[in-house]
Copies of this chain bind each other. A is one copy, B any other.
């Protein structure tokens, strides 16, 4: 995950959850989707993606099932669990508040005196 250098942290989890909120998707497809809908501003590295998926699964936020991809290949499809849906809402809200706070720092000028 790069280009925009170094921000991001936890944001990957959020974007994975959001992507899965539309439909169950396999890891490779999640990466392609994120890249596609950000116009390649965000690159999802496999070395970040798969460990992140495994941790989300461990935490019970997503569940996996093997299946066959649209390209006729073996693929692991992930879906949101109930806990995952709840977590997505919380994380979305949390991100919005965080981003808003950062923008405040970037915009707020000290009171003149």
Could you tell me if A18 and B99 are in contact, using CB atoms closer than 8 angstroms? no
Chain B CB within 8 A of A71 CB: no
- Complex Cα spacing A6 to B90, Å: 12
In contact, B9 and A101 (Cβ under 8 angstroms): no
The 8 A CB mask of A69-86 against B (1 = contact, 0 = none) is 000000000000000000
**For A39, what are the chain B residues with a Cβ–Cβ distance below 8 Å?**
101, 104
B10–A108 touching, CB < 8 Å: no
Chain B positions within 8 Å of A10 at CB level? 5-7
Other 17 A-B pairs with CB < 8 A, given A5-B94, A6-B9, A37-B108: A3-B97, A4-B94, A4-B95, A4-B98, A4-B101, A5-B10, A5-B91, A7-B7, A7-B8, A7-B10, A7-B94, A7-B99, A8-B9, A18-B105, A37-B104, A42-B101, A42-B102
